[in-house]
Amino acid sequence: MVQHIDIAVNILSPQLANHIDSVISDAANVGVSPLIVIGSDIDESIESQRLCSAHPGKLFSTAGVHPHHAKDWDQHSRQSIITLAAKPEVVAIGECGLDYNRDFSPRDLQRDVFAKQLEIACELNMPVLMHCREAHDDFIDILKDYRPELPRALLHCFTGTQVELEACLQQDLYIGITGWICDERRGQELAQLVPLIPNNRLMAETDSPYLLPRSMRPKPKSSKNLPQYLPYIVETMAKLRDQCPEQLAKHCYDNSQAFFNLEDTVLETQRVER
């Protein structure tokens, strides 16, 4: 069976939280395992780590504060992330970054909290999972100051322009691609950019439960996007890149394992299960 890692699953969202076991097993049944659970604020990061500890080798988590929640950063947030990052289930700092589309937090606070989390990632020598929406120039300007000290950096759910993609690749970022490329209304520009991403910088994700691939046939009865649909996204990427799906899946899987430093952990879990 072709192996996949879904690098961004919002498994604690209301749409998924009551079905976690089936989400994990349905994904594993089609080769999607492990799943990376996103922490978008301190409370969710704590809950994500606890959940992942109950599913060793199947779930790993991030710890961070999404730009939507930058306004909630307080004097305890930094230490909370550092404490979480010491847990074996926590494999990256984030989701952090900038979002000028929604502006749920003031932009000056978003920039400050983004920089603070990049600083933590540098201090701990941990990879960082980032978010950027309609904030490219400020995102790159802040990132440049920390990039030399960051071991690895990923921009997940990329939906930008060719100029923005080239700037991200110049910063040696990994690029996460979602089912956005399956949207005939909004995803056509991104679909054209997918072939420009080098094999060694590409990752695949669902961002579940969001961004259900619109081109899936038969169309799922529910509008929920699920990790089990990741192979369809990879197959779509492969067509756009004129690559063998199995070959592209291996690139994405290997990149994800290396980025989150999962090689030894996942192999040991698979050995025990056998």
Binding site residues for a divalent metal cation, as ranges? 95, 131, 156, 207
Positions at the binding site: 95, 131, 156, 207
Cis peptide before 209 (omega within 30 of 0): yes
User: Count of CB atoms within 10 A of residue 24's CB?
Assistant: 21
109, 136 Cβ separation under 8 angstroms: no
Q: Helix H segments across 2-152?
A: 20-28, 42-53, 77-85, 107-124, 136-146
> Which residues, at least 6 apart from 268, have a Cβ–Cβ distance to it below 8 Å?
57
Are β-strands 174-177 and 153-155 bridged in parallel, bridged antiparallel, or unpaired? parallel
> How far is 213 from 181, CA to CA, in rounded Å?
8
> How far is 125 from 119, CA to CA, in rounded Å?
10
Phi, psi angles (nearest 5°) of residue 17 = -60, -30
